[in-house]
Structure 1
Amino acid sequence: MTRYLFAPPAPASLPIQGSDARFPVGRIFCVGRNYHAHAVEMGAPVDKASMQPFYFIKDAGSLVESGATLPYPPGTRNYQHEMELVVAIGASGFRVAEADAAGLVWGYACGLDMTRRDLQLVAREAGKPWDLAKNFEGAAVLSGIVPKAGPGVLQSGAITLQVNGLTRQSGDLAQLIWSIPELIADLSRFYHLQPGDLIFTGTPEGVSAVAPGDRLSGHIEGVGEISLTIGEAE
């Protein structure tokens, strides 16, 4: 029996709709700039014909379940929301063909990629990693997992986010630059995808700053709801 110096953290997991089981979470992959209008608002338009998707990773320690109240994070004065469809991987895959990618999808969730935008922009201009901006406690807010219905993958559906009842983000999954099968096929060229991996698929335009006291509520058609309250800074 292994003896640890101190108790290891509990495995990260999410509830599953209609089940008392939980979905164990491994890696959290995020694709950057996967909606044209958001890429433009970030000052970095995307040309799919000449560009490839790019990714960053959030660790499992950044995961928080929907409904939480999160303190305004340290080190930023520009804390922003990004509402996203999240794909839950349920089978192993390496160098997966696009035609076979749907077989790796177990289900979906609503996600908030919370971002210290000022730190991201400084890092981007300096050509440095985005870790401080994207990978911190509470940076990955997720709803429960909804099992996939049918053999295909989601190709369309409204995705929206409201802050204090006012719509900030509104788009459709059909506007994804790289589709779910394309993302899975591309990621699997670089990683052995495993059950428990999550893929944040990108955010529509309308990302903006939030402040203590703000209440966020998001919806993805066919997937569900997500909510978050911003608390005071610690």
Structure 2
Amino acid sequence: MPISQAILPLRLVFWGGLLCVLDFTFSYSTTVNGHTSGVRFDILNDLLGMLLLTFGVYRLKQFDLDGKYRDYMRIVLVVSMINCVIALMDHFVFSRPTLLSVGEQLVSIVTLVATVLFCTAMMQLAQAYALHRSAESWQFTRLLVIVIWAIPFGLLYLSTLGALVVGESFPFSIGLLVIPVLLAMLVPLVHLFISTSRMKREAQHASPLEQAY
């Protein structure tokens, strides 16, 4: 399968991820007898973004590489599909039962793992087709995701999950550090988009020998 077949899926992953990140949300809700209900509308729709991303992942999974590539992409695909359901639910405002909140926290943890696996799979794909710059870029993206996202967010999600299970609140505040922390959290995201764009460009200009695997 030529690496040129990865160009469209990478575009879908890029734009789908961008739609999920950029939020312009309007919501309407009412509370009756302690129960909140309503709807939420996102101009840059997260559900559309997740659908694009999921289809891109599905197409990328079709590459038949040696090793764990397809296993990793299968996990990423399943997690993406679950996040599509969550994105759909997020259109509706309602009081979430504890069990659902616990499930969402678990999905958040699994999503972090899936993001690391996606970076690993893309690195393997780039290596298989001798896209050396892309492989190095994905390797660095994976490192950023692990250090800046997976470890701190994983601990945060686990703490929140524990609080939900025991029925207690989990107070969390970073105070004046909010701006530098948010900027730091953007670094893996920006580099992920850079790696996606770089691999797309490198695939477009790959030689005939690099096109074949």
Q: Name the TM-score, length of structure 1 as normaliser.
A: 0.23
Please state which structure has a larger fraction of its residues in strand.
Answer: 1
Larger-Rg structure = 2
Please state which structure has a larger fraction of its residues in helix.
Answer: 2
Q: Name the TM-score, length of structure 2 as normaliser.
A: 0.25
Taking CA–CA contacts closer than 8 Å with sequence separation of 6 or more, which of the two structures ends up with the larger relative contact order?
1
